[in-house]
Structure 1
């Protein structure tokens, strides 16, 4: 494939950093955009960026998505044809504390990106959604063909809104748009607010770990390299109208617009207590568990149906938690020198 220029938003973030690195490694040019906000340790974001700036094909733009004029200028001045939009205010629990951060970034910011795509002939927009959109669904595994009209957190509601907004732009302006519902992503350079990071830090410091829903949780933990593989493969296949679409058979995943939705998950839900057990074995430490009730906005289980992804891009995640956790712990020990 010919080298291309790609805009990656959230380039200093966990998934954005890994995606930008993969694109650079294969020879693409990347314009990385991030506002470096302080939702978590900015030094970690800066350390990720430092690794990206070793590539001469990488250019960094520090900007907030809500800066309409700035985003408009980035699109107008830069010669990129594809966009991977990963910047967002993430996290279910924080949306209970600071809801406006979610509407500013995930609604207003996403609209700025859509408008940029609309006015600059973008050939494909790939954007991050989340398994959280499945909300109150109890039918397992979660399928993109299921209705997701019952979110249980504002974060999930903003991501569902992103899917609807993207479909609207795909329909009106024929911009190919692909939405990716990520399932509990973990791995090296991960986010400090995620379970694996929190558990590892606490255990190495000899502190108890907080285990919600008294440990009765299952997550489709998905290793970062698998996520990135899915993102890049989707990016290389611009969405097309689905020939199976029929107006009298409403299926949320099918459309006569150039629009696609995929789950990216390991399609192997793991009990949280098993996840902790593997971490204990990897660290050679026993965790002291503080068992707590289910947090508001959280769901007890996630499980991805990845059939559509496998069929269309020829890939499904497969990294085991034993391998993934070991790689994370190795990175954590090196990065924090513990």
Structure 2
């Protein structure tokens, strides 16, 4: 998915620490989403919880869009023209609907509920995404992962994974990336990560052992959920810093609820993020934008999309300046 804001925020991101350089403890910070149109004024709208001023990274997770359930006849569905990425991986996960993915590797894949697609756009890749004609309701998440310096110019790649559900204590868990509840995803990543969908039965509670070196985020899709001692509402994301060896999640409602759990060790590198590019400097972003606008070989081309490429927005009239996570008080 593209960040199609006409004035995307420029971000220089770093890990969250307190005044003495210690990472945050095991309290829950609630992050609210903001609505963003996925295209023009009549386009489908998404709820974005990462990045924002309060937080820019959870582990290497640097972008989270949550959308739907949207009636395609009303919202127009998803139609994102070919657009570029650098320095990141995209994770696509649907709850309902179907999306056709095409990329400059020559991949043509369908994204369906319960099937994860992970695309690596290190040095450069481009792709398009369209909901298919048989989709009536579209609902899901699009997530990005920042690549570390050692691998930020990695070659293009595409992985498809259908996780087997794990059932425990009134919960059904699907592990997209990393390990949880005794199950491990085979999908390759460049930093340690956790990504999982958890569905809880009415009033069910689950305590999950987690890595104390990880910070975590819990994105609520439906229902009211208690994370540790904090209730999270739909579309909110609860952040928990490093140090916890277990997370307790409770369904506070009389209907099933669904959440997405993200995690990873704090991403220590400082990155610059603008539009669909992640680099290490303002100059990296300027160069990537120029090469996309010039249709250079860096990004390749998407074949079969019924339309043109998505042009890059204008750069800000200033050098990109740092924007960091605030220290925990």
TM-score normalised per structure 2: 0.29
> Counting helix residues as a fraction of each chain, which structure ranks higher?
1
TM-score normalised per structure 1: 0.28
> Counting strand residues as a fraction of each chain, which structure ranks higher?
2
Larger RCO, structure (CA 8 Å, separation 6 or more)? 2
